[in-house]
Structure 1
Amino acid sequence: MSAQTDALPQSRPALSGKDNDADHLRIIPARRTGQWAAAVVVLLLLALALNSVIRNDAFQWDVVGDYFTTASVLRGLGLTLWLTALVMALGFALGTLLAVLRLSTNHVLQAVSWGYVWLFRSTPILVQLLFWFNIGALYPEILGVRTVNLLGPVTVAVIGLTLHEAAYAAEVVRGGILSVERGQIEAAQSLGLGAWRRFRRIVLPQAMRSIVPPAGNMLIGTLKGTSIVSIIAVQDLLYSVQLVYHRTYQVIPLLLVATLWYVVVTSLLSVGQHYIERHYARGTAGTR
């Protein structure tokens, strides 16, 4: 009987008042005085910089307001947006084809795709535009049509920018397709789905999670990169403000007009990119 009594668990001693008080102690986070001081300094410097920009008469903000919504500037902005949309659509269409060729089992098609990407990623976009702009020196006629009349500045800009963007789009699409697990494709094959249906219903929706972020960055980069077409006299946003300040000699305020429009459009595109990324990230870890 005594042995059984010894085997019973001993009753826990009553907690002292000190132990009870410990349960109610409040955890105080460590103070980060240095971080707050750095944040205050940064905000102060930003405020000083913003104040100097606003109060500096050399920026001529009244001139910026006068030209911000003029007809010539808006026409240049419209051409910039149209050129960006067209180049991205054609560039990703060609880039998707190149990505499919690169992932094929045919070594010749793989080599053609690799060679295209290598060539156009190795050549500066300005050199490509100037080359296409002077294509008439190599081929004065194509199918009986003079290239001088066939390839105007806008056509040259579309061709040059599209071929350039397709090389980068091919790598973006290829990386997105490779990010899809092989088991997903094998499961779709076991269900008897055709190649096009597998790509459209299984591969592409999952690949979009990896394609959308770099594609959004490419879109913003293309929007700003279209300003280079002003070198071949395409009347985009930058060329439109250049025409004005060549006449009025108000260089700084007109450049600010173009800068502000680029900031506005890129900000709107960034917001759209955020929501598209969130749409395709549904069901992944860290998303709601």
Structure 2
Amino acid sequence: MGVCQSKEDNPKNKTYLLQTLEEHQGGINCMALSEDGSVLATGSEDCTARLWTTKTSLCECIGILKGHEDYINCCLIEDNFVVTGSADKTIRKWEMSTCDCVHVFRGHTSLLNRIICTGDFIFSSSYDRTARCWDFDTGECIRVFSGHKRGVYPLVFIPAPDDARTPARPDSGEVEDNSQYDWDGNKDILITGAADFTARSWSFETGKCLRVFKEHEGGITCMTTDQEGKILFTGSTDQTIRSWDILKGTRLKLFSGHQASVICMTVSRCYTFLLFYCRFLS
């Protein structure tokens, strides 16, 4: 006996699209999800960010964050606040419940590329060739990390271990020769990647450069570390991924094979392997 199946029941005709959110008036450049997964924030070319509820049967816009004078490039959610970075050279901190802007962080001289948050501090990268650290509560700029020759993109913050010692370290000067700097990794560090083909590690305490990771032949677009914070992975427009010893600054492995820029990646915490994505440039 034959089996009759309608077109509607054919798995090939099924779609997994649940809902389309069309309220933005421009392209969406960034998204962030709250820790409990109940609120989604989106930043757009229309100079606004929007908040969406995700726990209802249909996602609904529950707030519009207006104030930026140019498109929004990056955003994050920290506790009850949303933080956005824009091409208007500012970072803004918003109260999620009221959508009011409570702080404007000024200091960068070009558009913002990325922001990350530790709870106490916000770190930002910019096309002005610098990264900056800001006090999350007051908006005060605490540190400027300057040394890259082109725009700075990805950021990684590695906190010191709980039992960290306090080793002696040089007080000034940029370190280009890795052998001249005996750093044992027991301090908070920031790592930045840039369009100058290099990544750099920085002392959070002094703002000085600790290591320069230079071997890529294209801009560094994404970075991540292993779970212990000892190995750095960098993805680049040169179509490769490279791994580095963070303390020594030496390259460990080269992952090649992509035919286009690597633009994002992550390290699985359950299994030791890389997940990454590349795109073809027109």
Q: Same fold (TM over 0.5)?
A: no
TM-score normalised over the length of structure 2: 0.25
Would you tell me which structure has more strand in proportion to its own residues? 2
Report the TM-score when normalising by structure 1. Answer: 0.25
Higher helix share: 1
- Structure with larger Rg: 1
**Which structure has more RCO (C-alpha within 8 Å, separation ≥ 6)?**
1
